[in-house]
Amino acid sequence: MGGDGGSLPQRVDLVRMKNKKLRENTGSLGYEKNTLVNVNQNKYNKKELREYHFNRCVISEELLKEPFFCCRLGYLYNKEHAFQLLLVKKQNKKKRKKDTFEKFAHVDSLKDLVLCKNKLNEEGKLICLISKEIINSTSGGICLFSCGCVFSKKVFNRVNISEDKMCITCNKQYKESDIIEIGVEDVALLEEKQKSIIKKRKLEKKKKDSFLQAKKEMKNNDAVK
């Protein structure tokens, strides 16, 4: 059965499995022996994977189209899919599938997204507001969460010299935490950042609830008097 005439077929050679196939090899046999891979692993080549976060909606995997949003992890979202995500997340939490929303746990409302001011070119590519060049994995991308302006990372690093931290295109002030890098591939870094965002949100909610409770108690005390 094999190329040398002496090997025997194994289970992976005979039994078809959903979304699985033998890994292709450049050797004389064409496939690696007994090695299964997911079919969707070959959906994008390396170059396409590098460009993925700059050209596509992270939810639907469709090409970006105006208008679109950016979150604090640097993911880009088509408007319609961002709204759908928020709508579904408002449903009963018991009905949710944890794995489905784990990647977007940091997005709980529109406050967790910023509407990007950039335009897309005729090919649907993201364009830097300053240089008008295409933003891709080579140039890198930076989104200012305070205003939604997106720049090539190389260009932003050259012009980001103002001590006042003012956006060079709209003059809106930003903080260091508002500088969001698009297309980060470090999973551990993204997970750590996501946990930090969720923790901060919970602390802010707890602080707000405490304030409202104290305010309510003050009103009750005034009513008694």
33-58 residue pLDDT tens: 455 544 444 455 656 666 788 989 99
Does the residue 225 lie in any domain?
Answer: no
One domain, residues 168 and 69: yes
pLDDT at 10: 54
Does the residue 114 lie in any domain?
Answer: yes
pLDDT at 224: 62
User: How crowded is residue 151: how many other Cβ atoms within 10 Å of its Cβ?
Assistant: 29
One domain, residues 75 and 19: no
One domain, residues 190 and 206: yes
List the alpha helices (DSSP H) in 141-186.
153-159
Does the residue 205 lie in any domain?
Answer: yes
One domain, residues 158 and 133: yes
The CA-CA-CA angle for residues 200, 162, 53, to 5°, reads 55
Residue 68's pLDDT band, with cuts at 50, 70 and 90, is: very high
pLDDT at 133: 92
Beta-bridged to residue 120, according to DSSP, are 126
Does the residue 223 lie in any domain?
Answer: no
One domain, residues 172 and 198: no
For 3-28, what is each residue's pLDDT tens digit? 555 555 555 445 555 445 545 444 44
Does the residue 174 lie in any domain?
Answer: yes
Does the residue 54 lie in any domain?
Answer: yes
Q: What is the DSSP string of 117-128?
A: -PPB-TTS-BB-
Average pLDDT, the chain: 78
pTM of the model: 0.69
In terms of phi and psi (left: phi > 0; alpha: psi -120 to 50; beta: otherwise), the region of 149 is beta
Contacting residues for 34 by C-beta, under 8 A, at least 6 apart: 10, 12, 13
Does the residue 194 lie in any domain?
Answer: yes
Q: Which domain holds residue 21?
A: 8-42
One domain, residues 169 and 96: yes
16 CB-contact burial (10 Å; exposed 0-12 / middle 13-18 / buried 19+): exposed
One domain, residues 69 and 176: yes
One domain, residues 76 and 166: yes
Residue 190 has pLDDT above 50, yes or no: yes
Domain count, the chain: 3
One domain, residues 160 and 54: yes
Does the residue 180 lie in any domain?
Answer: yes
One domain, residues 87 and 144: yes
One domain, residues 27 and 119: no
Residue 203 has pLDDT above 80, yes or no: yes
C-alpha closest to that of 158 among 198, 191, 128: 128
Beta-bridged to residue 22, according to DSSP, are 36
One domain, residues 200 and 131: no
Report the CATH number that the domain containing residue 64 is assigned in CATH. 3.30.40
Rounded to whole angstroms, how far apart are CA atoms 16 and 11? 9
